[in-house]
Amino acid sequence: MQDAALMNYIDRRFVSSEKRLEKCNQDILDYVEEFRDFAKMVLSRLAGLNNYKAEVKSEVENLLTRIERAQRDIDYFGSVTDSNTCIEVHEDLVKQQLFEEAEEKKKLKLMLNASCDYMLAGIKSLKIVKKTGDKHGSWMKDPGKKHTKIYLLNGPVNNVILEFANIMALMESNHTLKARRVTLPFPWEGTGHIIYQGFLFYHRYGSLNEIIKFNIQRRNITDQMLLPGAGRIPAYQLSPSTKIDLAIDEQGLWAIHAEPETGGNIVITKINHITMAAEHTWDTSCSSEDAEAAFMVCNILYVVYNSPSRGTSRIQCVYDVLDAVNTYEIPVLHFPKRQGSHSTVHYNPKEKQLFAWGDGSQIIYKLHTKQKV
């Protein structure tokens, strides 16, 4: 009895498994049939899309043809229109441009204080104050302060300023022992730095065009800016370490540099020394080729040229940002006879003198000025 019951149970399980297998096979056949129907539907719709694509392409080509025809009609009517209308429009544009240029000049004169009405007429004499330091360097007084301190920044890359109580302290034989050493948090690059109103402005070494404003007494950075377009090529071909040359005149802080887009010609940017914002930029006609230095006097740029073999320095390109002087009639201005080169020439508007660094010598040039004509 037990064997018969077991066999009966096995038969039932087998029959049940066969039914499930048959159902599974049927489901697979149903799925295959549904997939075939779906594939037919997709192929049919794709064929319809191809037809629609052809129709759209035809309509677009027809539209382009109509646009071309309309453009020819417009060109024809434009060609037969009285040309005087075009002349009148052109004249109106010229008048508007001239008006805008005049307004821009007025704003610049207000910003730059046009009462500064003199220009450089010659270089009267030179005095070699000291010969110390590397071939390249910079030295100066702060024209914005009443003190007599002298600052010496030696080398194209360094982070130590030497501060002297006066020019006599610099001239003494043991001058470095009497100097106050001010260490910068970041070194400078080139020799184009300047000191003004108690701050050192300099191009940060390793940066493309970052200018740092450093408080000398408090020994900390108070501000910084990026000078657009600067830093890619030297400001002067004969002073390749200087990418950005900062300058001071009666109007404050300027930046002098060159750009590849100007063909290597020198560019001037007026900088607000308080906000560290670029106020205006001028593309000059002065080339950086064979230039060794430059400086600003009363809104006018003076570029110093020399020969690669270090001959006599001369000023032979002048650019007035206010266009108040016919710079093409200014004769070449020669420095007093001295063979060599300058790594910096900076103008001090308070003393009306040039502070220059030439082959390791600290030089002062006295100037002869005249009224602008």
pLDDT in tens, 71-128: 655 655 555 555 455 555 567 676 666 655 655 665 665 666 656 888 999 998 889 9
Domain membership flag for residue 367: yes
Task: Name, of 42-56, 106-120, 265-279, the range with top average pLDDT.
Answer: 265-279
Contact predicate 182/216, CB 8 Å: yes
pLDDT computed for residue 106 by the predictor: 57
CATH number at residue 223: 2.120.10
Domain membership flag for residue 14: no
- Lowest mean per-residue pLDDT among 7-16, 149-158, 193-202: 7-16
- Lowest mean per-residue pLDDT among 10-24, 154-168, 348-362: 10-24
Those residues whose C-beta lies under 8 Å from the C-beta of residue 360, and which sit 6 or more positions away, are 131, 132, 133, 134, 135, 137
Domain membership flag for residue 263: yes
pLDDT computed for residue 276 by the predictor: 96
For 53, the token pair is: 């694509």
- Is 70 exceeded by the pLDDT of residue 305? yes
Average pLDDT taken over every residue of the chain:
84
| Nearest Cα residue to 222 out of 230, 232, 212 | 212
pLDDT computed for residue 331 by the predictor: 87
| Nearest Cα residue to 271 out of 370, 340, 194 | 194
Domain membership flag for residue 133: yes
Alpha helices in 81-132 (DSSP H): 84-112
Domain membership flag for residue 212: yes
Domain membership flag for residue 360: yes
Domain membership flag for residue 271: yes
pLDDT computed for residue 251 by the predictor: 92
Count of structural domains within the chain: 1
Domain that holds residue 228: 119-371
Domain membership flag for residue 210: yes
Contact predicate 123/336, CB 8 Å: yes
pLDDT computed for residue 248 by the predictor: 97
- Is 60 exceeded by the pLDDT of residue 21? yes
